[in-house]
Amino acid sequence: MQTDTPRPMFDTDELVINMGPQHPSTHGVLRLILKLDGERVVDCDPVIGYLHRGIEKLSENRDYTQIVLLTDRMDYVAAATNNLGYVETVEKLYSIEVPRRAQYIRTILSELQRVASHLLWLGTHAADLGALTVLLFGLRERELILDLFEEYCGARLTYNSMRIGGQPWDVPPGWARKVLAFCDVQEQKLPEYEQLLTGNRIFLERTRDIGIVSAADAIAIGLCGPPLRASGVYRDVRKDEPYAAYGEMEFDVPLGTRGDTYDRYLVRLEEFRQSLRIIRQGMQGLPEGPIMGKVPRLIKPPAGETYHAIEAPKGELGYFVVSDGKSVSPYRFRVRPPSFCNLQALPQLVKGHLVADVIALIGTIDIVLGEVDR
């Protein structure tokens, strides 16, 4: 190729295009302003806020028990873990002791939720890359989890399944058997997904070496959850700061080595197995006892503040609650949403890749816009 003679007929300006907010691959109302050089992405500016409902402000005007149901609406495909993070924060602030049986039920629910959330992630991620079968498979198994949740709390999406101080309901009769049966089914289905994706040439081409993040970069940019672990950082709130009954559970934290999209897929796939392991341990070791601790009629924590984080399916979900000691609603209610912090890394991830890879990278960081915007 000659370099000395410029070719005047072609214009080499950078092109700015708008992806979203209504786009089937942006998983909600995410708008990306992409600056392109041909097919390569030079720069990317995510624009968010289309689903901002002011949940933090609303929560500061409701009492502590009413907020549980607002937290459902943040990460609406993983409502149970949102509930868990919030109720544990208030319990920490109020020094409420939660019975062991309730802790176990919470652990089982949040691991079921993690499997459901990862199933939806796997299906949509694969569908974005053209493998529609996996989406159907994933939704098929997710349906079983939703049935289990429906039997436990009556709802299928926004569960409102936890209360400050314990659990509102005990395990329904026969539920334990169904949960264990589900674990067996899910275990059998995992090789099906792997068969479709892990060695799939198209999938490998689309995910390998796409969006590599080094461990140091991942920590600095604030990645959390599976993307952080895929970069090789051993960081799991369940292990580092055990909450609920995770201190009594045996499980491994899968780590990636390269930090690319394929590693993030492998890490999440292994998390399926670890979650099933935790569910089985929890169900088999479910202790007897009460499910509700001693909670005052009126939740009014003493003046103070605390930050408490849990490992949601998307990453570290933190709540920062300030109580003024006089009011029945929090003085300040802040959510540290994992999707928000992971989405922040997107511009760094997509630089230099093709437009088609942007789709893969939005999928791999697993965002839910309800949580990004709150």
Partner 1 sequence: MSEGPKPASENPEAGRPAEPAPLAPAGQAEPGAPAPPAAAAPKPAAPPAAKPAPKAEPKAPPPPPGPPDQAPPADLPVPGFVTALQTGLPGAVEHVSFWVGDWTVIVGAPRFAEACLFLRDASGCRFDYLSDLTAVDWPGRPEKRFDIVASLYSTILRQRVRVKARAADGEAVPSVTGVWPAANWLEREVYDMFGVTFTGHPNLRRMLMPFDWQGHPQRKDYPLEGPGELLMESPQDWLKARQAAVDADIE
Half-sphere exposure of 5 (CA within 13 A, CB side): 4
Residues 174, 175, 180, 185, CA torsion sign = positive
Contact 371, 75 (CB under 8 A): yes
Q: Which residues contact 8 (CB under 8 A, 6 or more apart)?
A: none
Q: Does 331 bind partner 1 (CB under 8 A)?
A: yes
Candidates 24, 38, 302, 352: give the one binding partner 1 (CB under 8 A): 302
Q: What span, in angstroms and rounded, lies between the C-alpha atoms of 299 and 327?
A: 9
Q: What span, in angstroms and rounded, lies between the C-alpha atoms of 141 and 134?
A: 11
Nearer to partner 1 (CB atom), residue 179 or residue 321: 321
The number of residues that bind partner 1 (CB under 8 A) is 53
- Only one of the segments 76-84, 242-250, 276-284, 314-322 lies at the binding site for partner 1 (rule: CB under 8 A); that segment is 314-322
The token pair that represents 251 in the structure block: 């499980």
Half-sphere exposure of 110 (CA within 13 A, CB side): 28
Q: Does 49 bind partner 1 (CB under 8 A)?
A: yes
Q: Does 301 bind partner 1 (CB under 8 A)?
A: yes
Upstream peptide bond of 21 is cis (omega within 30 degrees of 0): yes
Nearer to partner 1 (CB atom), residue 169 or residue 234: 234
Task: Please calculate the CA angle 185-274-225 and round it to the nearest 5 degrees.
Answer: 125
> Which value, to the nearest 10 degrees, does the dihedral of the CA atoms of residues 84, 87, 90, 91 take?
-90
The mark string for 115-154 relative to partner 1 (x by CB under 8 A, - otherwise) is ----------------------------------------
Half-sphere exposure of 220 (CA within 13 A, CB side): 6
Written as one string, the DSSP assignment of 93-128 is HHT----HHHHHHHHHHHHHHHHHHHHHHHHHHHHH
Q: Does 97 bind partner 1 (CB under 8 A)?
A: yes
Residues 164-193 within binding reach of partner 1 (CB under 8 A): none
Nearer to partner 1 (CB atom), residue 280 or residue 308: 308
The mark string for 257-296 relative to partner 1 (x by CB under 8 A, - otherwise) is ------------------------------------xx-x
Q: Does 196 bind partner 1 (CB under 8 A)?
A: no
Candidates 24, 54, 247, 352: give the one binding partner 1 (CB under 8 A): 54
Q: How far is the CB of 250 from partner 1 (least distance, A)?
A: 19
Q: How far is the CB of 231 from partner 1 (least distance, A)?
A: 11
Which positions touch partner 1 (CB under 8 A)? 48-49, 52, 54, 56-58, 61, 92-97, 219-222, 233-235, 240-241, 293-294, 296-298, 300-307, 309, 316, 318, 320, 322, 324-326, 331-332, 334, 336, 340-341, 344, 373-374
